[in-house]
Structure 1
Amino acid sequence: MGLACAASAQPTAATPAQPAASHPAAVLPQWAQDKLAAAKADPKLQEQAYRQGAKLATFCANCHGPSGQSVRPDVPNLAGQNTIYVLNQLNKFHDGRRKGAFFMEGLVKAMSNEERFAVAVYYTNQEAPAARPSGDAKLAAQGKAVYENGCRKCHGESGAGSEKNSRLAGQQPNYLETAIRRYRDNDVRTDEKMFKYTKGLTDAEIKALVAYIGALR
């Protein structure tokens, strides 16, 4: 069953800025890889998905904002994320591999493959959020050391993320701090790698890390 939306939103750009995909990650099912490849080969198909995603996003906007910049401090920004990464996360909500995020499970479970693809294309082609400097240079410097030691390898020097890892730059600080604590405390039991890198962090180090990430763009 598809997800019905009563209202529609107008896309903010005539042509999506981010390609649908470069090298679809192996973690995606074949249908998703096929859609990504088709959209990359035919801009009209990507534009069609973008416009469909804009309409579907009228409901998602209650938490994630109309342009992918969250309206809640405890909800992540989606703008500027990698399309493959977001589509993979939506698929995890859909089949139950990812849980515990408000009513995301029920909402995404009602979405068709095509709708999940469209929402991912729309939100990830919105302009990435601006940097959120903490104003505490000393704290950010401490956080940089933590980032370089444990986060940079997967999330990138500038926090831009990848097909397999989320974009951290411009992310909601409250959401980031809560998420890192949950990984450290092993509340998120589906990501052993994140638990490994965060399990030794103190609360002070997490705050410093969030302060540093806030300055990334």
Structure 2
Amino acid sequence: MKFSVLAGLLALALGAASWAEPVAAPADLANGAAVLPPWAQDKLAAARADAKAHDQAYKQGAKLATFCANCHGASGQSVRPDVPNLAGQNTVYVLNQLNKFHDGRRKGAFFMEGVVKAMSNDERFAVAVYYTSQPIPKPQGVSDPAQAAQGKALYENICRKCHGDNGAGSEKSSRLAGQQSAYLDTSIRRYRDNDLRTDEKMFKSTKGLTDADIKALVAYIATLR
């Protein structure tokens, strides 16, 4: 889809904001393209091998992000507590999530399905490159040390294996460090209650959590960097 057409569709839903200057390609562009479809693997390899290809994708993503910024922020740090930060996420992970919205495997996030459905392969790749190239959000800090200590034990037991010691995530798991606490709280509850019905592993990992456990877990994640 041409940018002018997509812009018209997205403008109805999101609005506009300024964007940052291009930065160096994130390190994760060099890793694990095997989890992506072939077209995305090719684009990832091109961006990894050629700084101009990365810069072109970044600039295209910056233009498209003017319509995403009303929720996700111009620099990938969300302006809404119920919307995730995208800055610092793994590029492969974010691109895969966009692909899932595009083909209907992921649902139920405001009007994301309709917006992403209108995006071409090139546009989804560009948005993923732009947002994941932004600086990682700072940790939110400890508001209740005792609660965070309880959450640490839970994190190490059920989250660390997939999301990493410091919550940095991977190509297959989201970055939790620096994420919006309200968004995490809601998402964990939805996984626990099997409301999302998109990730059996997350359901099994969270189904035994109480509301108090979730609050403690989120309090600990807020300390990660």
TM-score past 0.5 threshold: yes
SS in 1 for 2:107: coil
1:63 aligns with 2:66: no
Which residue is equivalent to 1:166? Answer: 174
Residues 16 and 69 in structure 2, CA contact (< 8 A), matched pair in contact too: no
Deviations 1:55-96 (A, max 9, x none): 100000010000000000000000000000000000000000
> Which is further off, 10-19 or 41-50?
10-19
d(CA) in 2 for partners of 1:64 and 1:204?
28
Deviations 1:95-144 (A, max 9, x none): 00000000000000000000000000000000011001132100000000
Normalising by the residue count of structure 1, what TM-score does the alignment of the two structures yield?
Answer: 0.95
1:25 to 1:183, Cα distance in 2 relative to 1, 3 A: farther
> Which is further off, 68-77 or 128-137?
128-137
Matches within 5 A, 1:147-162: 147-162=155-170
d(CA) in 2 for partners of 1:20 and 1:127?
14
User: Shift in Å at residue 27 of structure 1?
Assistant: 3.2
1:72 aligns with 2:72: no
Which residue is equivalent to 2:7? Answer: 4
Residues 18 and 66 in structure 2, CA contact (< 8 A), matched pair in contact too: no
Deviations 1:1-56 (A, max 9, x none): 24226798665244334146223343311000000001100011001100110010
Residues 85 and 166 in structure 1, CA contact (< 8 A), matched pair in contact too: yes
d(CA) in 2 for partners of 1:193 and 1:26?
21
Residues 17 and 69 in structure 2, CA contact (< 8 A), matched pair in contact too: no
Which residue is equivalent to 1:122? Answer: 130
d(CA) in 1 for partners of 2:25 and 2:44?
15
1:189 to 1:57, Cα distance in 2 relative to 1, 3 A: same
Q: In proportion to residue count, which structure has more helix?
A: 2
d(CA) in 2 for partners of 1:98 and 1:75?
15
User: Shift in Å at residue 202 of structure 1?
Assistant: 0.5
**Structure 2 unaligned runs (5+)?**
none
Which residue is equivalent to 2:111? Answer: 103
**Structure 1 unaligned runs (5+)?**
none
1:28 aligns with 2:36: yes
1:193 aligns with 2:201: yes
C-alpha RMSD of matched pairs (Å): 1.6
1:181 aligns with one of 162, 184, 189: 189
Q: Report the count of equivalent residues.
A: 217
User: Shift in Å at residue 169 of structure 1?
Assistant: 0.3
Letter in 2 for 1:128: I
SS in 2 for 1:26: helix
> Which is further off, 113-122 or 134-143?
134-143
d(CA) in 1 for partners of 2:58 and 2:177?
23
SS in 2 for 1:100: coil
1:204 aligns with one of 212, 217, 223: 212
Residues 170 and 216 in structure 1, CA contact (< 8 A), matched pair in contact too: yes
**Percent of pairs with identical residues:** 75
User: Shift in Å at residue 188 of structure 1?
Assistant: 1.4
Letter in 2 for 1:175: Y
Letter in 2 for 1:62: N
d(CA) in 1 for partners of 2:69 and 2:152?
32
